[in-house]
Amino acid sequence: MRTSSLLSSILAVASTATAYSYAKHINYTVVTDIFQQDDAATNASTFDFIASNFGLINQTYLSDPSCPDRKQSTQWQRLAHYISTLNKQAPRNERYTLFFMGRHGEGYHNAAETFFGTPAWNCYWSELDGNGTVTWADAKLTATGVQQAQRVNRFWAHLIKDEKITPPETYYTSPLCRCLDTARLTFTGLDLPRRSPFVPVIKELLREGISAHTCDRRSTRSYIQANFPSYRFEKGFPENDPHWTELRAEPQKDQDNRSKVVLDDIFTNDGSTIISITSHSGEIASLLRVLGHRVFSLSTGAAIPVLVKATALNGDGPATTTLPYTPQKTCATPPTIRDSSCNDCSCCT
Ligand SMILES: *[C@@H]1O[C@H](CO)[C@@H](O)[C@H](O)[C@H]1NC(C)=O
Ligand SMILES: *[C@@H]1O[C@H](CO)[C@@H](O)[C@H](O)[C@H]1NC(C)=O
Ligand SMILES: *[C@@H]1O[C@H](CO)[C@@H](O)[C@H](O)[C@H]1NC(C)=O
Ligand SMILES: *[C@@H]1O[C@H](CO)[C@@H](O)[C@H](O)[C@H]1NC(C)=O
Ligand SMILES: *[C@@H]1O[C@H](CO)[C@@H](O)[C@H](O)[C@H]1NC(C)=O
């Protein structure tokens, strides 16, 4: 079960259950009480995942007695054994997967928003490619963003060496430069198992929520290929950005729909138990909504672990509705106020 994909589970359901022809829906639940971030009492704005062992709660698991060398085992080793036990004991349509979701380090668009103030950023500057000094279209990491990713890299090195964590078996990333670079800085130079090297797959639907901001428009496939030659593209990844639309924004419903689509795709095609995703604040928030996790905002460079139970069901899932992209208002000249309550450009003057 551990290495078989959910697709084979779906097929197993189909072949044993004559009443149904195939599973139509994958239902997600978060297994709570594993990480402090699962708990409503943990304050996301002050929580330090590096200082707190990724939030892993010290405890005994029901599977501890069968854990090899359990007296010498770390909490991470016993967690790996627990997840593997859950998977062995699970019905064939059920699977447990541990995700590490990392937000990119600070990009030039983040720094520019702070510099100009949110109203002027949203209503004027963000729609431009840059200001002549700095470019924020498909923003690169600032020096601070690079340092944030390097800090997470040192944290992973410590987790692997001292905490005996099992590193991710597969890596996915958003196609936006700040994530491609964050993933590279985070996972390069680690002592990774030979069978699961850092070869990330670029997935279109892991991109940030799409707005009129040029930081949400991706570069061409050729550009990405030239700058990240060791990365793989998912099947059908087109040369040009098919989604970004001038002065239009993706509604949250649409974003949550595509977050479900990309999770279903990962669960259907990837049998890994430990999966890394490098993405954005808005997109990780959407993935967490789809998985049924509590709201947990990540600052730039922060990451969150989530243990997910996926169940392949034969019935229809809830109907998906989406909306047309909404027009976004802008101002002809930058608003002068800095009050961040002005988000609809009502402060244009
Ligand atoms: C589907 O997931 C939700 C939480 O996301 C859970 O409450 C519900 O019990 C699950 N249903 C099935 C049939 O697994
Ligand atoms: C979380 O911490 C922030 C910063 O210290 C504080 O302003 C906020 O009130 C806290 N939230 C809760 C729910 O305690
Ligand atoms: C969890 O256990 C580790 C190692 O046994 C210890 O260093 C750490 O302080 C414990 N954390 C908490 C929150 O008790
Ligand atoms: C352009 O924006 C950056 C902030 O991102 C700022 O540091 C720089 O001074 C600005 N350049 C000009 C010419 O205003
Ligand atoms: C959900 O998102 C996928 C991927 O972008 C898209 O192909 C599909 O049409 C969307 N579903 C609805 C109901 O809009």
| Mean predicted lDDT score pLDDT of the chain | 92
Q: Distance (Å, rounded) from C-alpha 310 to C-alpha 264?
A: 9
- The three-class DSSP label of residue 121 is helix
The pair of three-digit structure tokens given for residue 116, joined into one six-digit string? 């100009």
Distance CA 229, CA 240 (A): 18
Please return the burial class of 211, using the count of CB atoms within 10 Å of its CB with bins 0-12, 13-18 and 19+: buried
The number of beta carbons lying within 10 Å of the beta carbon of residue 320 is 12
Q: What confidence score (pLDDT) does residue 23 get?
A: 58
- Encode pLDDT of 15-56 as tens digits: 443 333 345 799 999 999 999 999 999 999 999 999 999 999
Closest atom of ligand 2 to CA, residue 44: 1
Catalytic residue among 94, 208, 250, 283: 208
Nearest CA to ligand 5 atom 6: 258
User: Strand runs (DSSP E) across 160-296, as ranges?
Assistant: 170-173, 201-202, 232-233, 248-249, 274-279
Strand 326-327 and strand 248-249: the pairing is antiparallel
CB of 114 within 6 A of ligand 4: the answer is no
Ligand 3 center from residue 58 Cα (angstroms): 6
**Residue 122 Cα to ligand 4 middle (Å):** 16
Residues contacting residue 50 through CB under 8 Å, at least 6 positions apart? 151, 152, 155
* C-alpha 293 – ligand 5 centre gap (Å): 22
116 alpha carbon to ligand 4 midpoint, in Å?
9
pLDDT at 24: 76
Ligand 2 pocket, residues with Cβ under 6 angstroms: 43, 45-46
Confidence grade of residue 7 (pLDDT, cut at 50, 70, 90): very low
**Confidence check: pLDDT of 11 > 80:** no
Of 247, 267, 271, residue with least CA distance to 259 = 267
104 is catalytic: yes
Q: Using CB atoms within 10 A of its CB, is residue 121 exposed (0-12), middle (13-18) or buried (19+)?
A: buried
Tell me how far the alpha carbon of residue 342 lies from the centroid of ligand 3, in angstroms. 44
Q: What is the mean pLDDT of residues 311-330?
A: 91
Measured from the CB, is residue 112 less than 6 Å from ligand 4? yes
**What's the whole-number mean pLDDT along residues 292-316?**
96
pLDDT band at 256 (very low <50, low <70, confident <90, very high): very high
| Active site annotation includes 293 | no
The answer to whether 289 and 258 are in contact (CB under 8 A) is no
Q: Which ligand has its closest atom nearest to the C-alpha of 56?
A: 3
pLDDT at 318: 86
Tell me the β-bridge partners of 16: none
Closest CA to 16 of 92, 86, 89: 92
Q: What is the pTM of this model?
A: 0.94
For ligand 4, atom 8: residue with the closest CA: 133
Protein residues with CB under 6 Å of any ligand 5 atom: 257-258, 261, 320, 322
Cβ-contact 101, 303 below 8 angstroms: yes
Residue 331 half-sphere exposure, CB side, CA atoms within 13 Å?
21
> CA 278, CA 301: separation in Å to the nearest integer?
10
Q: E strands of 115-230, at which residues? A: 170-173, 201-202
Average pLDDT of 311-339? Answer: 90
% of the chain exceeding 90 in pLDDT = 85
Read off the amino acid at residue 211: S
Q: Give tens-digit pLDDT for 189-243.
A: 999 999 999 999 999 999 999 999 999 999 999 999 999 999 999 999 999 999 9
Choose the catalytic residue: 81, 94, 104, 106: 104
Other Cβ atoms less than 10 A from the Cβ of 60: the count is 12
- CB-hemisphere CA count at 13 Å for 133? 6
State in Å: Cα 221 to ligand 2 middle: 41
Instruction: Provide the pLDDT for residue 15.
Output: 40
Residue type present at position 160: I
Token pair belonging to 146? 């690079």
- Note the ligand closest to the C-alpha atom of 292: 1
The neighbour count for residue 132, using CB atoms within 10 Å, is 7
Ligand 5 pocket test: pick from 258, 283, 287, 323 the residue with the most ligand atoms within 8 Å of its Cβ.
258
Residues found in the chain:
349
